[in-house]
Amino acid sequence: MIFARESVEASMIVAIILSYLRQIGRRDLTFMVWTGTVIALVSDAAIGTFVWENIHRYRGTRLQIGFEGTTYFAAAVMLTAMSFWMKKQSQHLKYHIQHDVARSLTRSSRWTLALLSGVTVGREGLETTIFVLALSFRTAPAQLLTGAVLGIATGLSLSYWMYHLGRRIPLRTFFSIFGVLLLLFADALISDGVEDYQALHWIPWGRRVLWHSGRYLRESGALGDLLHTFIGYAQSPTLLQVVLYLGLLAPGIYLFLKPWGHQTAKP
C-alpha cells in the first residue's frame, strides 16, 4: 500500500511534467526531467541503504528498539500529514506542477527543470525510505520486495495511462481512498511505537494488558501478521495502545472525510 501510493504520486508528477513539455513543444527538455528523477532515486536509495546497514548492526539492542519505535512515530506523523496535504492539493495538483515547470523554463539554466523534478520525486522517495525502514522491522524481506514490485508496477501503469492515453484520473477519489487506508496504517505504526517505548520503559504508564487473544488469532500467524501490519492488531495490547488507537483513528478519519469548506476555483 505504501509503495503503491508513493509510486503513483511520484510517477504522476513526472507524467504531468512530461505531458506539459509535450503540450508546449519542449520535448528537448525531457532528458533533464529524467536526469533529475534518476539522481533523486539514486540518492534516496543510497540514504536508505546507509541507514539500513548501520541500524541493523545493533539488532536486538536497546538502541535498535529505540530507533525502531522512533521510526514508527516519524512514519505515522508523515503518513498522516501527507494524507491531509494531498487531499488539499489533489484538486489543483496538475496546475501547480505546470506552473512550477513554466517558471523553471523562464530561467536560462536547463538544470532548473532537472532540479524541480529531482526535488519533487526525491521528496516522495525519501518518504518511502522512512516508511520502508519502519516496515523492515516487522515485515519479511520477501513481503517488502513483493510490495515494492506491485507498487512500482501500479505507479508506472498509471503514469503511462496519464501520459500516453491522456485520460483523466479522479485524483480526489483516489487519494481519499488511500488516505483512509493510510490513516489506519499510521495508527498501526503508532501502536507499535508505543509498544517499543513501553518495552524500554520510556513510557512507564498505561502498560496494563487489557486482553490476550493469542489463542484465537496469533500475531505471528499469517492472518495475524497481516492484520498487525495494516490495522495494528495486537494479541496483547496495553491500555495506552488501545486508548491512542481509538482516540486518534476515529477523529482522524472524521476530519479527513469531512468537507473542508469552500475551495476557490483554479486560476
For 144-155, how does the pLDDT look when each residue is reduced to its tens digit (9 = 90+)? 777 777 777 776
* 266 belongs to a structural domain: no
Q: Which three cell numbers stand for residue 17?
A: 511534467
pLDDT at 198: 95
Whether 238 is in a domain gets the answer yes
Mean pLDDT of the chain: 80
Residue 262 resides in a domain: no
Q: What is the pLDDT of residues 100-110, one digit of tens each?
A: 787 777 765 66
Q: What is residue 207's predicted lDDT score, i.e. its pLDDT?
A: 94
**Run of H or E including 163:** helix 141-165
> How long a stretch of residues is the chain?
267
| Residue 157 covered by a domain | yes
pLDDT in tens, 159-216: 666 656 555 556 667 677 778 888 998 899 999 999 999 999 999 999 999 999 999 9
Q: pLDDT-derived band of residue 140, with 50, 70 and 90 as boundaries?
A: low
For residue 196, give the nearest of 140, 231, 240, 230 by alpha carbon. Answer: 240
69 domain residue, yes or no: yes
For residue 201, give its domain range: 2-257
Query: What Cα–Cα distance (Å) separates residue 243 from each residue in 14, 108, 182?
Result: 41, 56, 19
pTM for the complete prediction? 0.73
Per-residue model confidence as pLDDT tens digits over 166-175:
555 566 676 7
Q: Which residue has the higher pLDDT, 264 or 87?
A: 87
Number of domains comprising the chain: 1
Tell me the one-letter amino acid at 111.
W
Q: Is residue 267 part of a domain?
A: no
Asked if the structure places residue 164 within a domain, the reply is yes
CB–CB of 71/134 below 8 Å? yes
Task: For residue 265, tell me if it sits in a domain.
Answer: no
pLDDT band at 124 (very low <50, low <70, confident <90, very high): confident
Residue 170: the pLDDT is 60
pLDDT for the residue numbered 30: 86
Residues 21 and 97: beta-carbon distance below 8 Å: no
Higher-confidence residue of 87 and 227: namely: 227
What confidence score (pLDDT) does residue 194 get? 95
Model pLDDT for residues 34-89, shown as the tens digit of each residue: 898 889 888 888 887 887 777 777 777 888 889 889 988 998 998 898 888 777 76
Please give the angle made by the CA atoms of 45, 51 and 53, to the nearest 5 degrees: 95
Whether residue 266 has pLDDT greater than 50: no
233 pLDDT higher than 60:
yes
CA 263 to chain centre: 25
Q: Is the model's pLDDT at 4 over the cut of 70?
A: no
More confident residue, 20 or 263: 20
Mean pLDDT, residues 244-252: 93
